Amino acid sequence: MHILKFLRKATNLSKNIGIENEQAKELVENLKGKWQLSSQPLKVDDHVTFLGEIPRITDFEEELTIQLQTMKNNVWHHDKIEDDSAIYINTPKGIIIISGCSHSGIVNIVKHAKKVSGDLNIFAVIGGFHLLSAAEERILKTASELKMLGVENLITGHCTGGVAEYLFHQTFQENFQKLYAGKKLEFTF
């Protein structure tokens, strides 16, 4: 039996930790922000673009490396995290893509950012890549594809995993950095 199902049946420890749209909207507006939902790319300002939902087109990224549940109508369902997104910042040296956990796959995110940006150069990709439990074959394919897509700098952390970070370092050498809480990144343009 899957451990999450066992825990739910045995102790009812599962609970919804998501934030509902009305709660998020109120929080943003209380901070004088503008609340706008979009599944499509959205230009935030002259330099920042929200990518919207990420199309899942890369075959080796089809399988999620995390199993999450979401509650709909008081029933738990498998969550494919279809609303996963990222942003990019346009700089004189190319775009800097910033992801959260990359549940839709970091290669899918980079491909989508290239398409949305008009195929601009990719100066850096920053974020968690959620490869903590991924097979080495998938990690190697990811590193190879990112290099082939022209990613110049790779800065990973959070949920990327030690094996993936080691293999990314092998591929990107001095253009690889490990991301950690409190790290300050400075780029010269």
Degrees, nearest 5: CA angle 167-131-43? 105
2 in a structural domain: no
Give residue 102's domain range.
Answer: 38-65+82-178
Q: What is the pLDDT of residue 150?
A: 97
Neighbouring-strand partners of residue 39:
none
This prediction's pTM: 0.83
55 in a structural domain: yes
24 in a structural domain: no
109 in a structural domain: yes
pLDDT digits (tens, 9 = 90+) for 36-57: 888 999 999 999 999 999 999 9
53 in a structural domain: yes
What is the rounded end-to-end Cα distance, in angstroms, of the chain?
A: 53
Amino acid 14 reads S
Residue positions counted in the chain: 189
Amino acid 112 reads H
151 in a structural domain: yes
Which CATH number is 140's domain given? 3.60.15.10
98 in a structural domain: yes
DSSP 63: S
For residue 26, give Cα distances in angstroms to 38, 42, 72, 110, 178: 17, 21, 22, 32, 35
* Residue stretches of the chain with pLDDT short of 70: 1-21, 64-71, 77-82
For residue 11, give Cα distances in angstroms to 8, 29, 128, 135, 163: 6, 37, 31, 31, 33
Number of domains in the chain: 1
144 in a structural domain: yes
- Nearest in space to 96 (alpha carbons), one of 21, 24, 151, 18: 151
